[in-house]
A and B are shown apart, each in its own frame.
Chain A
Amino acid sequence: MTTETAGVDREVTAAFDTVKRRSANAAGRRRIVTCLVIVACYVLVALFGPMLRKYDPVQTFTQDRLMPPGSTTSQGLALLGTDQVGQDILSQMMLGARVSITVGAGTLLLAGLIGVTVGLVAGYRGGWVDAALMRLADIQLSFPSILLAILIAAVVGPSVVNVIVVLAITNWVTFARVTRGQVLTVKNREYVDAARTLGAGHLHLALRTIFPSCVAPILVVATVELGHVILAEASLSFLGLGVPTDVPSWGSTIANGRDYLGDAWWISTLPGIALAALVLTCGLLGDAMRDRYDPKLRSL
């Protein structure tokens, strides 16, 4: 009798666990989809927003200076107000989205390329190559990344491409570490041995046999890093070290509004909200992807 109930109990618990796991999966998927939709909206605005309204960075409209959100200006309705030279804030924000997303995507591609290559080589070759590359990564991690970015950006001067290069140099380490870790866990598995026995060369082993199992953790890292990169670009632009002054970035618009806080709160606050919402979404997306695809990366 007792064993019977225990059996039933076990079955019930098992069934309950399955339901719980399914609903957790569904909830995880919902989180991922919601976040992706928000990011997609930003991408759409960045792509098409600036086409709706012409923006000329050198033009000034003195009669439209510091108009509050919702006012009508000589240029039409300024839904989010105007800045100190009469430029529409909404247009600036849409161009800012373009800068943030370009820099974010470009940096992830470049940092990912460098980091994944280094991680694959270090993990696959092992020995002194591995030791040298990982010590380099240690040194760089012991150096606050924003400081390195400030230093390089100050020397190379402001431009969108430079920002991408600078941020890629400061962010490749995470990709390298995660890739290397994954390569180390995979490289002694039987299927890799099998491929080697069948005569696969080093390149084939590294790229076609081992690399595919690294894709999931790399994608998770990329999502987590996206928010950090976008924030770093805004910080550099806020300090005047990011994109050139004629390209409106969220960071530089926020910096411009700092001198007009008393008269025009909207210049600094509104782009900040757009930035914060995107960074927050990227963070949540990263968490959701990690829980779903690679829970052991929790410490990142």
Chain B
Amino acid sequence: MGAYLTRRLVFSVFILWGAVSIIFVVLRLIPSDPARLILGSDATEAEVEVLREQMGLNESLPSQYLSYLGDLTRLDFGDSYRQQRDAFELVLEKLPATLELAIVALVIALVVGILLGVLAALRVNRIADRIVSVASLLAQSLPSFWIGIVFILVFARGLHVLPSGGTGTPAHMVLPAITLAMPMLAILIRMTRSGLLEVIHEGYIQTARAKGLSERVVIFPHAIRNALIPIVTIVGLQFGGLLAGSVIVEMVFSWPGIGRLLIESIGQRDYNVVQASILVISAGFVFANLLVDVLYGYLDPRVRLVTR
């Protein structure tokens, strides 16, 4: 287990370095001048030149890259141009709101997804299965910003039962969390259904039935345990998807998280904040995957032996 963990940890650091480098390349190598972008088109050449000097843009690219990496290891993302504050602090302040939303969405997706998946598998090819399949297809292909808007129309404007945006009470959480959960919910339904259908014909399930165990006991501890192993991987991959998806959902529901900060900072050309928020979201994504790898190695000892 120790060697496995070390390998996964090294890989995560490697991936994080890759993500950091991609951000550097995108922000520095693109033909437009970052200093000009920040100041806008009405700034004079002299002003742009001063900012270029301040940002170190006049140095060579390799030395810019090294000082950028050095700054990141000290978690120094520079200051926000608009708010005159540390960009990283600004992002950290918004992190709890985004995490809260993502975790509630994750719980909704897990509970509802697994239950519906089990239901579909037990009633395979019957009416309940068909309904669940169609629902999961819809949940996967409907754009989340549109689902959010329809939810607002129906539950906030039409029925007046839930608030349309903002934060405060648990009721504010309901619509954004369900909207965010949708794509993951669809995947979990399908994975649970196919996973359970695969497991259900195995010998140990027949044994459990032959022992005279009730169907509920056969499904719930016995079959579901093996059916859930692939789901762990999906959850890890999708948790990053939830963090990324929250960018859009936060905009729809005016949720004060990192996603909204990111989009607003892009509008204000506040690139230090943009960079910090993207890195924090990516780090969350990498961390979730690492966590899953560890959990996976624990649940299914076979994967520890496979060198990747």
Contacts and interface: CB of A to CB of B under 8 A. Distances in A.
A155 B150 contact: no
Judged by DSSP, the binding face of A is: helix
Given A151-B26, A155-B26, A254-B146, A142 B19 contact: yes
Contacts, number: 127
B252 A144 contact: no
Q: How large is the interface on A (under 10, 10 to 19, 20 to 34, 35 or more residues)?
A: 35 or more
B90 interface: no
Contact of A235 (B142, B143, B262, B278): B143
Contact of A142 (B30, B157, B252, B286): B286
A155 B270 CA distance: 11
B149 A151 contact: no
A5 B23 CA distance: 70
B245 interface: yes
B138 A280 contact: yes
B15 interface: yes
Given A239-B263, A241-B263, A272-B150, 10 more contacts: A138-B15, A142-B285, A143-B19, A144-B285, A151-B27, A227-B141, A231-B141, A251-B145, A261-B157, A279-B142
A272 B274 contact: no
Judged by DSSP, the binding face of B is: helix
A235 B145 contact: yes
Contact of B274 (A151, A235, A269): A151
Interface residues of B, number: 45
Nearest to A277: B141
Interface of A: 136, 138-140, 142-148, 150-152, 154-157, 227, 231, 234-235, 238-241, 251, 254-255, 257-258, 261-262, 265, 268-269, 272, 275-276, 279-280, 283-284
B149 A147 contact: no
Contact of A150 (B137, B146, B157, B262): B262
A156 B248 CA distance: 20
A147 B138 contact: no
Contacts of A154: 266, 274
Contact of A258 (B14, B140, B248, B252): B252
